[in-house]
Structure 1
Amino acid sequence: MKRNVLIIGAGGVAHVVAHKCAQNNALLGDIHIASRTLAKCHAIIESVHDKGSLHMPGLLQAHQLDAMDIEATKFLIRATRCQIVINVGSPFVNMSVLQACIETGAAYMDTAIHEDPAKVCETPPWYANYEWKRLDACKRAGVTAILGIGFDPGVVNAYGRYAMDTYFDQVDSIDIIDVNAGSHGRYFATNFDPETNFREFTSTVWSWENGAWKANAMFERKKEWDLPVTGKSTTYLTGHDELHSMSRNLGVPDIRFWMGFGEHYINVFTVLKNLGLLSEHPVRTARGQEIVPLEVVKAVLPDPASLAPGYTGKTCIGDLVKGTKDGKPQEVLIYNICDHEEAYKEVGSQAISYTAGVPAVAAAMLIADGTWDMGGMVNVEELDPAPLISLMNRMGLVTRARHGTEDYVVEPQMAIAEQVSCDKVASMG
C-alpha cells in the first residue's frame, strides 16, 4: 500500500490530475503540487476547493520546485512523505524526476517520452535513448516506474494489449486514431503545451510497418476515418510516443498513429515552420539578444488551459485493430469519447487535458492498492489492462468497442481481488 502523491507540473493536465487525486484522496492520501511557478499551483488548489473535489478532508499543498534539480526533488519527496510521483511537467524533466524517485524509493509515472531540448524526433526506439537505460536501476531499487500513462501514450497502449488478449488469435495491425472534433473559438491555439506540440511535427514521422521503422515527412500521408460520434475525419500519419514501446512489446508488424488536423492548423503550422519560427535552436536578434524561436511562439499563443471555458464538441481516440480469430478476419475499434463541456463542468478543463490526466490518476490508484505496484519499469502495454479500463469507466473515461454490428461499453473480466479494488474506488466517488 502506497500513499501520498506529489504532482510535478501545474499545467492543464496537472489541473485534472489534482482534481482526480482529490476525488480519490481516501485512497491516495495527501496531495502535493510542485512547479517552478508557485502561483499556478495555488490556482489549481483554489480550483479544487471551488469545485468541491476533495472526497474527504485532507492535505492539499503547493510547493515551488525546479524539477531539473534532482537533489531538490529528492528533498521534497522525502519532506512530504510522498510515495507516488505523477510527473506531468515538461518532458524535459523526465529523467531528473525519475532519478529522484529511484533514489528515494517513490513510485514514478509520466505521460510522455523524455525529450532533450536540443533534439527533435529522435531515432527510434526513442525510449532506448533515455528511460529504458534506467530499467536495471529501477529493478535494483524495487521502484515502480510506469512510462507514458496518459491517453496517447497510455490508454491506447492498454487498448492494444486488451484487444490482442480478448478479440484475436493473431493481430496484423494497430492503427491508433486521435480526432478532436471540438472547437475552442480562437484563431489558432494548441490543445497542450505548444512547444511539445510543435516539436512532435517538425521532423521525421516514424511509423512501424512490416516489422521495421519507416520514415515519412509530416503531412505526407493522410487517411479518412469514419468514427463514432465525431464522424468522418481526415487524419495524418504522425510519429508518436507509444509506437516506440508497442513496436517492441506487442509483436505486431504494423503499428501506426494518425492524428486529425484541419486545413487551418496545417496552413498556420506550415507558415511558422517555413519562417523558422518553430526552430528549437537559438538565434540572435538585431539587438544582440539570444532567443529560441519556438519559445517565442509558445509565449504568444494562448495557454491551453485558458481554452477550457469556451470549448465545445468531443474527442474520439482509439485503436483500430485488425487480425484473425478462429482463422477468420476480424476487426475491432476500441475507443473513448470525451466531451469538452462535460470535462469543464466537472473539473474546469478541456477534454484533451482530461483524457491525459484521468489515466495517470487511475494508475496511481492501482499502484496505491498494489495492483500495478510491480517494483520495476514498464510501459503500459506490459501491464494487465483490465483494472485500468474498469477504473476509468468509473472515473469519467468510458471505454467502448465497435465490433461488427455491435457497439458497447467494455467491462473487462478481472480477478476477484482487482474487482473488489475497483468497487471500493467506485464507492469512494
Structure 2
Amino acid sequence: MKKNLLIIGAGGVAQVAAYKAAMHNDVLGDIHIASRTLSKCEGIVAGILEKKALKRPGILAAHQLDAMDVEATKALIRRTKSQIVINAGSAFLNMSVLRACMDVGAAYIDTAIHEDPSRICETPPWYGNYEWTHRDECERKGVTAILGAGFDPGVVNAYAALAAQRLFDRIDSIDIIDVNAGSHGRYFATNFDPEINFREFTGTVWSWQDSQWTSNSMFEVSRTDDLPVVGTHKTYLTGHDEIHSLSANLGVPDVRFWMGFGEHYINVFTVLKNLGLLSEQPVTTAEGLEVVPLKVVKAVLPDPVSLAPDYVGKTFIGDLIRGVRDGVETEVLIYNISDHEEAFAETDSQAISYTAGVPATAAAMLIATGQWECHRMANVEELPPLPFLDLLGRMGLPTRVRDARGDWAFEELDLPEPELVAVRTGKVS
C-alpha cells in the first residue's frame, strides 16, 4: 500500500485536492503541498486546519518548489517520502514532474494534457506527442502514471469506459458536454488559469469524426441540449484532451467535446483575440519592454481562486452516448451536477475546481489501496471505472444515468456483467 502524497500546484484544483486528501489522510498518509509561491501553499494548509479537515492527526506541510526543475522535484519527493504525486499545477509542468516520478519510482497523476508554451493547438494526437512517448519506460520501471484524472478529462473517460463495458454492445458516438450554469458576478473572468484557458480556444478545434481527425474553427459548430437540472444550453464544438485518448482506446468512430459559452464571454474573447492580446508571442512596447500579450491579460484578470466566495449556481458535465444494445439503438446520458456554493462551503473553492480536484485525490486513493496501482502509464478509460465512480459518489461527485427508462442514481443501476471487448488494449475491469 502506497503512502504519503505530494500535491504540486496551489491553484483552485490543487486546493480542492489538498482538502480532500486531508479528509482521507488515514488512507493517504502525510500530505505535502508545493508550488513556486510558498505563501499560497501555506494559505491552503491554514484553510484546511481552520476547517479541521484532517481526518486524523498527521503531517500537513507546505513547500516552495519550481517543478520545472526536475532535480529539485526529485529531491522533494525523496525528502517527504512521497509515494504518490498529484501534478495539479500548470499543464506546462507535466513532462518535468513525470520525469521526476519515473526517476524516483513515485506514482504520477495529472489532470490535463501536457502543453508546450511555444505551441498552441498542436496537431493530434496530443498524448502521442508527449506523455505516450514514455509508456514503455513507465512499464519497464513499474511506475504507475495516471493521465488526465480530473473530470474532463478523467471522470468523463470513466463514464465512457462504463458504457463500453456495461451498457452497450457497440458505441457509435460519444459527445462530452460541459456547461457551467453558474455566475461569479465579475465583468469577465476565467474559471481556471487564463493562460491555459485561452490557449484551448485560439487555434484549430480538433474532433474525432468518422474515425479521423476533423478540424473546425472555434465557435463554428454549436448544438443545443435540454440537460438535467441546468436546463437548455447552447454549447460549441471544442478541442479537448479526452478526445485524444478515447479515440485511440475505445475504437468509437465519433468522439466530440462541447462546451457552453455565454454571448458575453464570446464577445470579450473575440475582441481580445482580434486585438492580438491572446498571442503567446512576445511584443516590444514603445518603452523597449518585451511582453507577452497573453501573460498581460492573465495578470489583469481576476485570480480564478478569488471567484469562489461569490459563485452561485451549478455545473453539468456528462457523456451523451449513442450505440446499440441487444440489437436496439440506444442513447444514454451519464452525468454529474455540482453546486458552486456547496463546493465553497466544503473546500473554499468553486465547483469547477472541485470537479477537477476531487477525482485526482480519488485516483491517489485508488493507487494507495492497490485498485489502480497498474505499474504502467494509463488513461482513465483503461482502468476499472466502477471503484472510481463509487468512490467519487462517496466523496461528493455522484454520478447519474438518464436513459429511455428514466433518470437513475449510479447506485440504483442494475449493471450487466462486463463484456470482454471493452478497449483496444484488451484490458477490462
Same fold (TM over 0.5): yes
Residues in 1 aligned to 2:404 and 2:231: alpha-carbon distance in whole angstroms: 17
The residue aligned with 1:104 is: 104
- Once the two structures are TM-superposed, the CA of residue 163 in structure 1 deviates from its matched residue by 1.2
Q: Is the 8 A contact 1:26 1:55 kept in 2?
A: yes
Displacement of 1:37 in angstroms is 0.2
- 1:413 is displaced (CA, Å) by 8.0
Q: Are 2:389 and 1:351 aligned?
A: no
What is the 5 A alignment of 1:254-273?
A: 254-273=254-273
One-letter code of the match for 1:191? N
5 Å matches for 1:390-429?
A: 390-411=390-411
Q: Does the CA contact (< 8 Å) of 1:386 and 1:413 recur in 2?
A: no
What letter matches 1:79 in structure 2? R
SS at match of 2:67: coil
What residue is the counterpart of 1:171 in the other structure?
Answer: 171
How far apart in 1 are the matches of 2:77 and 2:189? 35
Instruction: Kindly indicate whether the alpha-carbon contact (under 8 Å) linking 1:139 and 1:375 is maintained by their aligned counterparts in 2.
Output: yes
CA distance in 1, matches of 2:405, 2:288: 64
Contact 1:6–1:31 (CA<8 Å) still a contact in 2?
A: yes
Structural mapping, 1:206-245, within 5 Å = 206-245=206-245
1:292-312 residue CA offsets vs partner (Å, 9 max, x unmatched):
100000000001110010100
Partner of 1:88: 88
Aligned to 2:30: 30
Q: Measure how far apart 1:246 and its partner are.
A: 0.5
Unaligned runs of 5+ in 2: 416-429
Number of positions where the alignment pairs a residue of Structure 1 with one of Structure 2: 414
> 2:203 — aligned with what?
203
Query: Contact 1:7–1:18 (CA<8 Å) still a contact in 2?
Result: yes
Q: Helix, strand or coil for the counterpart of 1:242?
A: helix
Matches within 5 A, 1:33-48: 33-48=33-48
Aligned-partner Cα distance in 2 for 1:413–1:272 = 50
The 4+ residue runs of structure 1 with deviation greater than 6 A are none
Partners of 1:32 and 1:63 within 8 A in 2: yes
**Distance in 1 between residues matched to 2:250 and 2:164, nearest whole Å:** 9
Partner residue, 1:331: 331
Query: Residue type of the partner of 1:55?
Result: K
1:147 and 2:147 matched = yes
**Which residue is equivalent to 2:419?**
none
Q: How does 1:153-164 map to 2 (within 5 A)?
A: 153-164=153-164
Offset at 1:263? 0.2
CA distance in 2, matches of 1:241, 1:26: 32
Query: 1:337-378 CA distances to partner (integer Å, 9 max, x unpaired)?
Result: 000000011111100000000000000000000000010000
Kindly provide the amino acid, as one letter, of the partner of residue 167 in structure 1: L
Q: Distance in 2 between matches of 1:7 and 1:285?
A: 38
**Secondary structure in structure 2 of the residue aligned to 1:82:** coil
Write the distance in 2 (CA, Å) between the matches of 1:275 and 1:78: 47
> CA separation in 1, counterparts of 2:6 and 2:409?
32
Distance 2:394 2:381 in 1: 21
Letter in 2 for 1:320: L
AA of the residue aligned to 2:104: T
Corresponding residue number in structure 1 for 2:426? none
Question: Are 1:157 and 1:246, in contact at CA under 8 Å, matched by a contact in 2?
Answer: yes
Secondary structure in 2 matching 1:159? helix
SS of equivalent residue, structure 2 residue 235: strand
Aligned partner of 2:49: which letter?
A: H
Whole-angstrom distance in 1 between the partners of 2:414 and 2:135: 30
User: Deviation at 1:115?
Assistant: 0.5
Q: What letter is aligned with 1:131?
A: E
Which 10-residue stretch deviates more, 263-272 or 285-294?
285-294
Aligned partner letter, 2:131: E
Ranges in structure 1 where 5+ consecutive residues have no aligned partner: 415-429
Q: What amino acid maps onto 1:198 in structure 2?
A: F
Return the alpha-carbon distance in structure 2 between the equivalents of residues 218 and 50 of structure 1: 43
Q: Which amino acid aligns with 1:180?
A: N
Cα deviation for residue 405 of structure 1 reads 3.6
Q: Report the TM-score when normalising by structure 1.
A: 0.96
Name 1:12's counterpart in structure 2: 12
Q: How big is the shift at 1:166?
A: 1.6
Q: Counterpart of 1:333 in structure 2: which amino acid?
A: L
* 1:66 is aligned to 2:66: yes
Indicate the residue corresponding to 1:426 in structure 2. none
TM-score, normalised by the number of residues in structure 2:
0.96
The code of the aligned residue for 2:318 comes to: G
Question: Counterparts of 1:203 and 1:408 in 2: how far apart (Å)?
Answer: 38
Rounded to whole Å, the distance in 2 between the matches of 1:402 and 1:53 is 34
Q: Residue 217 of structure 2 aligns to which amino acid in structure 1? A: A
Partner of 2:304: 304
Question: What is the letter of the counterpart of residue 160 of structure 2?
Answer: G
Q: Does 1:375 align with 2:375?
A: yes
Q: Which residue of 1 is the match for residue 128 of structure 2? A: 128
Note closer, same or farther for the CA distance 1:375–1:413 as it changes in structure 2 (3 Å cut): farther
The 1-side partners of 2:53 and 2:135 are apart by: 36
Query: Who is 2:251 aligned against?
Result: 251
CA RMSD of aligned residues (A): 0.9
Cα distance in 2 for partners of 1:303, 1:218 equals 25
Q: For residue 206 of structure 1, what is the amino acid of its counterpart?
A: W
Q: Is 2:287 aligned against 1:287? A: yes
Cα drift, residue 140 of structure 1: 1.2
1:50 maps to 50
**Partner of residue 425, structure 2:** none
